[in-house]
Amino acid sequence: MFAVGHYPDFHPDSAIKRAEEHATKNGVKCTFLVADVLGDLENVTETFDFAYDWELLHHIFLEQRQQYVANVHRLLNPKGKYLSLCFNESDPAFGGAGKYRRTPLGTVLYFSSLGELRALFEPCFTILELRTVEIHSKSASHLASYCFMERREVNGP
């Protein structure tokens, strides 16, 4: 499995340490690394059956998204599955309107529509499920776009 994002509110090194401790405690063999998902990811030499992106995509703006999707596509095996979840534009959070919204932490997030995600993913993936879901957390609930896909072969340029 290739999963992106890390424990929020931690420096990447301490997030990795925590993740390693958690995996060891639960007897799960994992490899963790810190990388920019928009980079060339040259340290990732394996390919995977499943990629999982939990609330990372809304940090990536439109002009960078194709690079991100190309990276995920490259890291998946043929017919590999990809689950992506990100903020949906119908969510009332952080001002309640607009595609770009500033959070109290000072970060700016992009709120997608389902149509935008379909257009983004469809060139590289067969969409198996695409819908708005409600995510419940300790502090509040929010609306997210849930997209479950299967990698398909893409003809070169």
Ligand X SMILES: C[S@@+](CC[C@H](N)C(=O)[O-])C[C@H]1O[C@@H](n2cnc3c(N)ncnc32)[C@H](O)[C@@H]1O
- Of the ranges 1-9, 20-28, 76-84, 121-129, which one interacts with ligand X (CB under 6 A)? 1-9
Distance CA 90, CA 142 (A): 9
- Going by their DSSP bridges, the two strands 108-110 and 100-102 should be labelled as antiparallel
Look-up of token digits 């997608």 = 112
Give the interface size with ligand X as a residue count (CB under 6 A).
10
Please tell me what DSSP assigns to residue 67.
H
Distance CA 49, CA 106 (A): 35
Q: What residues from 82 to 141 belong to the interface with ligand X (CB under 6 A)?
A: none
Q: What residues from 14 to 43 belong to the interface with ligand X (CB under 6 A)?
A: 36-38
By CB under 6 A, name the one of 44, 56, 130, 143 that touches ligand X: 56
Which C-beta is closer to ligand X: that of 86 or that of 149? Answer: 86
Q: How far is the CB of 141 from ligand X (least distance, A)?
A: 15
By CB under 6 A, name the one of 6, 17, 142, 152 that touches ligand X: 6
- Going by their DSSP bridges, the two strands 2-4 and 48-54 should be labelled as parallel
Closest listed residue to residue 146, CA positions, set 122, 124, 128, 126: 128
In which element (H, E) is residue 134 found?
Answer: strand 125-136
User: Could you say whether residue 142 binds ligand X (CB under 6 A)?
Assistant: no
By CB under 6 A, name the one of 5, 116, 142, 152 that touches ligand X: 5
> Where does this chain bind ligand X (CB under 6 A)?
5-6, 8, 36-38, 54-56, 59
